[in-house]
Structure 1
Amino acid sequence: MADTYDLVILGSGPGGYVAAIRASQLGLKVAIVERERLGGICLNWGCIPTKALLRTSEIYHYMQNAESYGLKADNVGFDLAKVVDRSRKVAGQLNAGVKGLMKKNKVTVVEGVGTVTAKGKLSVKQGDKTVELDAKNIIVATGARARDLPFAKADGKTIWTYRHAMVPTEMPTKLLVIGSGAIGVEFASFYNDMGADVTIVEMLPRILPVEDEEVSAFMDKALTKQGIKLLTGTGLEGLAPSGNGVTAKIKHKDGKVVEETFSHAIVAIGIVPNTENIGLEALGVETDRGHIKTDGYGRTNVDGIWAIGDVTGAPWLAHKASHEGIIAVEKIAGGSPHQMNKANIPGCTYSRPQVASVGMTEAKAKEAGYELKVGKFPFIGNGKAIALGEAEGFVKTVFDAKTGELLGAHMVGAEVTELIQGYVVARQLETTEAELMETVFAHPTLSEMMHESVLGAYGRSIHY
């Protein structure tokens, strides 16, 4: 006889496990199905362990430049196995934390491969055994996986996806990164700081193509200055293992195809949603290029079937998945949550320097027909940034000239992934330039640049 629940969630990533906790808080009987490790890709193979690696490379960079702070650090080096081990321990600690949260919130964890067999019914295969579950509602939170090149599948030896790049057994000497989105730029930054010779190939005209054009241009100069070779407007026509490395056929802007050999390549060209073989086709759940179509509450076209996170489409971010999960669960429980507003979802890239943004770019705002007020303030004008030795970067704000609405904010520089939340809150509260101008910012802080950028949009910047 099948176990019966108010809600069963398929997938335990940052969307699934957060939805499970909120559902339990609302009094629902909840089960969560996971085929691998609680916490999903983000916690085990994505957001968290990559940040542990990037923290290591950041400290290594500072150690190599200790003299600029009046310090001495001789014979600086690293143990790659210990670097990887630290990252895995961080992921392991958080995985254990999610297990504890499931127990604390009385969420039943069902390990195995889940399939939706009918409306309100799931079958979970556990080796030779199968467990049947009944549910009033089902949330699909199965996430996504790395997209392979059609002509060169990752082998884990010289051709890597992000999963391979997080647990290297050897340090690349000459690394090719294919794709310059957040994942590609983060790995390029990490391996470059650790001593690899790095090249990024990007088919589009600029790196970090979803960011504001000024941010992309700044990052182009910053990464080039660090020694990373950037090939934009450039295609990849072939990639194959060759000897102890990999040979790439790179088509440059002029149409010329050049062969070049690298020790390793990281493929970072996007993701594929995990929607196959989980029973959605038989139920008639609508998809768009593999992504499940939902409304602002996470509902699909099939009653009782909901979907959240990467499996529903862009932006493919953990915090988007978590928020979608809470909205869906509150709707299931009979509440009246707000619909998802993707315009208020911040994006962060944890490279060196960092990049963060929310809302419209200047170009998108112009395309939408807004008359704009744009402010920009450089890190070099901020005392805290100078004291930190991090005087490169800027903060940019885009306002509707008629209403004072903050349309977008874009940052590049030290710790901007922490600063961006101030503007996210401002947008959520529908704050105008007037409130932001009258807000007191602590001194000395990096956040003062946020204030100065707002003031600058209206010709009132004090320190620039």
Structure 2
Amino acid sequence: MLIDIKLEKLSGHSTSGKIGKIHVEVNDNIKVGDEILDIESNKGNKSVISNATGIIKSINVETGDTIKKGDILVTVEGELKEESSKKKSTFNYMGGLMKPKKEEIDTDITVIGSGPGGYVAAIYAAKMGAKVTIIEKEKVGGTCLNWGCIPTKLFVTSAKMYENLNNAKSFGLSAENISLDIKKIVSRKNNIVKELTDGIKYLFENNNITLYKGTAKVLDENTIFVKSNNTETTINTKNIILATGSKVSMIPIKGIESKNILTSKEILDIDELPKKLIIIGGGVIGMEFAFLFNNLGVDVTVIEYMDDILANIDKDIISEITSIAEEKGIHIYTSSKAEEIIDTEDKKVVVSFNKKDKLHYVTGDKVLFSVGREPNTGEIDLEKLDVERNDNKRGIKVNTKMQTNVSNIYAIGDVTDKVQLAHVASHQGIVAAENILGNNIEMEYDVIPAAIFTDPEIAVVGLSERQVKEKGLEVSIGQFPFASNGKALTLGESRGFVKIIKEKETGVILGGSIIGPHATDLIHEIALAIKNKLKDVDLMNTIHAHPTTAESIYESVLATTETGAIHN
């Protein structure tokens, strides 16, 4: 029987509310009393509880939707909760339904966490013949697919398209009555995220990977307990891969409990665009949001504790992106410590910050808290398992095989606190799977491209100028501006440059940085060169298609030689 679960009532006398967190997914098993979703109203928050037992067939709302009494929230195929007049005769029957089913399974590898590290490890191991089980307490795909890499790039794309429409005249075009609908941007984001996460679930099924939705309780190095919907499962496992990811870091600031504070997770589900946004933290996440919201027409202020935004990259890149940000109207305060967040009577927010021992104030509609992420061990008792932490006590300590001090327990991704990048987590997952299956593979961190989706994009790989100086290496550095690249000019994106660092005596490529159009795609040619110890002549003797932005890499390599770049 198909049952429509509707919004029956709200807190107080509210007649409408906004969908908050949705706790279920299509095809989930639910029972009477399970939480389905949360609803926020002006009278308070409320959880909608299932009055049916069965399988979720459809979810008719999305996070951020405004709904009213009588609206259908989800549709369930199953049995409706009996009316009070029938409870006496059906009590034993319903009680039997609600008793958890107990099962015990055996598996080769259990992966805890289904982010880009966990799901890649699971699929890779399964393709190599292992019997694999994966456990996820929230959403398949983890932070990256649901609240990180993919959703933010969807926002970046919409924001850039909006900016291009507003600058149509520079391309000889005319566009009138340009507007944006943040709800539709969020909806598009949700649809594409769902498409990708459904794809991962399909890959699990196609590779005979058993997925459990619930919280994993690791009893010992070979036993895991998980309660998933109405089933309690004991998993006897030969190996464990911990892939529990990271969580948003929150530093102690007075007023941190303000309702006007958003993290990188909540801001992706906003239903109203703020006129003024204050971002605390000018690292990668903070600056990506700064540029995308600036492109959406928001007045953005960034408060950064360090002396520079994006502090870990070369000074010339920092100087260029800072200059571009300020030209776009992004207000940046570096060497500044946020002191207090104050809510005003007119529902605005004030952030006070200390710069050079002087207190400053900035007013906005919302505050994005973006001071980094920290390893998330969740409910896993590492001490009970005798699994060692890193020296800084943040992440899980692993060797180059991604193995902890407990021989059959591995850890991958952000929880190791090595490099917090999705592609690193994925590769660590493959290394862990290979070693579990008897192949001696080691993780290397020397050649990891990093992509920053500001506007323009930034990408770096290999050694930076600072690192070659610290190592005392004799190098040659070549730089080529996109202002001299034909394809960049056709795109209307002439800011930025490509920089190549090579060993002076041998010509071996050691590092590269790009700021400009397609930087995050172009960086892989330099990464491949560094990984394979290619020399300047190898790149110079490779014909690059014209007209492309890739020609700038060729020209930057020429700039390291006595000949110099041709078009500069």
Q: What TM-score range do you get, normalising by the shorter chain?
A: over 0.9
Does residue 115 (structure 1) correspond to residue 188 (structure 2)? The answer is no
Q: Which has the higher helix share?
A: 1
Kept after mapping to 2: 8 A contact 1:154/1:161: no
Kept after mapping to 1: 8 A contact 2:450/2:460: yes
**Quick one: which amino acid aligns to residue 269 of structure 2?**
V
CA-to-aligned-CA distance 1:187-245 (integer Å, 9 cap, x gap): 11111111111011111111111111110110000000000001111111112333312
Does residue 98 (structure 1) correspond to residue 212 (structure 2)? The answer is no
What SS class does the counterpart of residue 548 from structure 2 fall into?
Answer: coil
Provide the residue aligned with 1:297 in structure 2.
401
**Quick one: which amino acid aligns to residue 335 of structure 2?**
G
Matches within 5 A, 1:46-445: 46-126=148-228, 129-151=231-253, 157-243=259-345, 244-252=347-355, 254-288=356-390, 289-337=393-441, 339-445=442-548
**Quick one: which amino acid aligns to residue 331 of structure 1?**
N
Kept after mapping to 2: 8 A contact 1:49/1:87: yes
C-alpha deviation, 1:434, in angstroms: 2.1
With 125-134 and 33-42 compared, the bigger mean Cα shift is at: 125-134
What SS class does the counterpart of residue 292 from structure 1 fall into?
Answer: coil
With 429-438 and 313-322 compared, the bigger mean Cα shift is at: 429-438
**Quick one: which amino acid aligns to residue 452 of structure 1?**
E
Q: Distance in 2 between matches of 1:375 and 1:455?
A: 7
CA-to-aligned-CA distance 1:50-102 (integer Å, 9 cap, x gap): 10111000000000000000000012111111111111111111011111111
Q: Distance in 1 between matches of 2:503 and 2:287?
A: 31
- The number of equivalent residue pairs is 462
- Per chain length, whose mean CA-contact separation is higher, i.e. which structure has more relative contact order (CA < 8 Å, sep 6+)? 1
Kept after mapping to 2: 8 A contact 1:153/1:159: no
Cα distance, 1:45–1:211 mapped onto 2, change above 3 Å: same
Kept after mapping to 1: 8 A contact 2:258/2:343: no
Kept after mapping to 2: 8 A contact 1:356/1:420: yes
Kept after mapping to 2: 8 A contact 1:156/1:164: no
Q: Distance in 1 between matches of 2:332 and 2:123?
A: 43
CA-to-aligned-CA distance 1:340-386 (integer Å, 9 cap, x gap): 22121111111111100101111111111111100000001111111
Kept after mapping to 1: 8 A contact 2:107/2:238: yes
What SS class does the counterpart of residue 291 from structure 1 fall into?
Answer: coil
Cα distance, 1:156–1:310 mapped onto 2, change above 3 Å: farther
> Taking every aligned residue pair, what percent have the same amino acid on both sides?
38
Kept after mapping to 2: 8 A contact 1:149/1:267: no
Kept after mapping to 2: 8 A contact 1:366/1:372: no
Q: Distance in 1 between matches of 2:257 and 2:202?
A: 35
**Quick one: which amino acid aligns to residue 336 of structure 1?**
N
What SS class does the counterpart of residue 351 from structure 2 fall into?
Answer: strand
Q: Distance in 1 between matches of 2:440 and 2:244?
A: 25
C-alpha deviation, 1:2, in angstroms: 2.6
C-alpha deviation, 1:276, in angstroms: 4.1
Q: Distance in 1 between matches of 2:302 and 2:537?
A: 42
Q: Distance in 2 between matches of 1:154 and 1:287?
A: 29
With 152-161 and 391-400 compared, the bigger mean Cα shift is at: 152-161
Matches within 5 A, 1:30-49: 30-49=132-151
CA-to-aligned-CA distance 1:425-448 (integer Å, 9 cap, x gap): 112212121211211111110000
Cα distance, 1:105–1:156 mapped onto 2, change above 3 Å: farther
Gaps of 5+ in 1: none
Kept after mapping to 1: 8 A contact 2:216/2:379: no
Kept after mapping to 1: 8 A contact 2:401/2:443: yes
Kept after mapping to 2: 8 A contact 1:372/1:399: yes
Cα distance, 1:443–1:345 mapped onto 2, change above 3 Å: same
Q: Distance in 1 between matches of 2:223 and 2:254?
A: 38
With 418-427 and 55-64 compared, the bigger mean Cα shift is at: 418-427
With 147-156 and 176-185 compared, the bigger mean Cα shift is at: 147-156
Provide the residue aligned with 1:455 in structure 2.
558
Cα distance, 1:290–1:4 mapped onto 2, change above 3 Å: same
Q: Distance in 1 between matches of 2:343 and 2:512?
A: 42
C-alpha deviation, 1:155, in angstroms: 5.8
Q: Distance in 1 between matches of 2:527 and 2:414?
A: 21
Does residue 6 (structure 1) correspond to residue 108 (structure 2)? The answer is yes
**Quick one: which amino acid aligns to residue 249 of structure 1?**
S
CA-to-aligned-CA distance 1:16-53 (integer Å, 9 cap, x gap): 00001110111100000000111111001110011011
Gaps of 5+ in 2: 1-102
Cα distance, 1:279–1:218 mapped onto 2, change above 3 Å: same
What SS class does the counterpart of residue 424 from structure 1 fall into?
Answer: helix
C-alpha deviation, 1:150, in angstroms: 1.5
CA RMSD of aligned residues (A): 1.4
**Quick one: which amino acid aligns to residue 97 of structure 1?**
G
What SS class does the counterpart of residue 426 from structure 2 fall into?
Answer: helix
Cα distance, 1:430–1:60 mapped onto 2, change above 3 Å: same
* TM value normalised by structure 1: 0.97
**Quick one: which amino acid aligns to residue 420 of structure 1?**
I
C-alpha deviation, 1:179, in angstroms: 1.0
Runs of 4 or more, structure 1, over 6 Å off, are none
**Quick one: which amino acid aligns to residue 103 of structure 1?**
E
CA-to-aligned-CA distance 1:290-341 (integer Å, 9 cap, x gap): 201111110001110000001011321100000000011011111132x222
C-alpha deviation, 1:128, in angstroms: 6.7
Kept after mapping to 2: 8 A contact 1:378/1:395: yes
